[in-house]
Amino acid sequence: MTARDALRAAAARFAFSDTPRLDAELLLAHALGITRERLLLTLDDRDAPPGFAALVERRARHEPVAYITGRRGFWTIELAVAPGALIPRPDSETLLEAASACLGERTPARVLDLGTGPGTLLLAALAEWPGATGLGVDRSDIALDQARANADALGLTRRAVFARGDWGAGITERFDLVLANPPYVATDAALPDEVRCYEPAGALFAGEDGLDDYRVIAPQLPGLLAPGGIACVEIGADQGESAAALFRAAGLAAALRRDLAGRDRCLVLTA
């Protein structure tokens, strides 16, 4: 089968996805060992490789593309990802956009990433601000192993430290920038199979109203911010007011930022 025919057939099987053609392109490029951009330029010159069919079968069972390829681009970096850690999402880039807008020309000397997963926000921040160093905290040893491997691959090992912890508990240092993407999905919320069945529940669900982890983080946050520091915390699209109220009750000012789709996505918090 030609690569073009295989691509068309695969995309037809991925009707459950919001991006069936893109999914098929990423898997075919992975099977060929080339970039998607290279694939699109040379598609008519190629046959479908033998391994592509197996990748299509995995995706047809709703396994996330990032877990199949083992890679995901985020902000200006590419991360290795695997089961056991939350897959980086474009929505989370809103936190870095908000931080950059608020900091302006300032470089944060110290960055804290609460719930770092595979190092997503911390490593992206360190790539954005070469003068910064940071700490990434997670309760999952699997995620921390992935974060350390990503730091090494990106040449950031000397600037990034990762530690097991429960949000900000026990951290006495203060930071110029705090980033956090905690679980915020209500326990009974409907999710696509590729999320509910494959990604770690501990990184997704936060009680009946999705606010349990904000209730823990909010009172910790004032003690984590250096003078003039800011925190950028991801929220669900329907949590702009409910999550902000928890942080305001802890004495913080909260401003809302929306993602590129116009949905509430980030709270910018200051003392």
Mean pLDDT of 131-139: 98
**Mean pLDDT computed over every residue of the chain:** 97
For residue 13, the model assigns a pLDDT of 98
The per-residue pLDDT for 153 is 98
What percentage of the chain reaches a pLDDT higher than 90?
Answer: 100
Mean pLDDT of 99-115: 97
Tell me if the pTM is above 0.85. yes
Q: Minimal CA–CA distance to 71: which of 15, 106, 33?
A: 33
Q: What is the CATH number of domain 84-270?
A: 3.40.50.150
* Whole-number pLDDT of residue 6: 97
125, 179 contact by CB (below 8 A): yes
Domain boundaries, the chain: 3-61, 84-270
Q: What is the pLDDT of residue 177?
A: 98
Cα 5 to chain centroid, rounded:
33
For a pLDDT cut of 70, what percent of the chain falls above it? 100
Q: What is residue 203's predicted lDDT score, i.e. its pLDDT?
A: 97
Give buried/exposed letters for 168-177 (b at 16+ CB in 10 A, else e).
beebeeebbb
Where residue 168 falls (left for φ over 0; alpha for ψ -120 to 50; beta otherwise) is alpha
56-93 pLDDT, tens per residue? 999 999 999 999 999 999 999 999 999 999 999 999 99
Q: Which pLDDT score is estimated for 219?
A: 98
pLDDT in tens, 209-243: 999 999 999 999 999 999 999 999 999 999 999 99
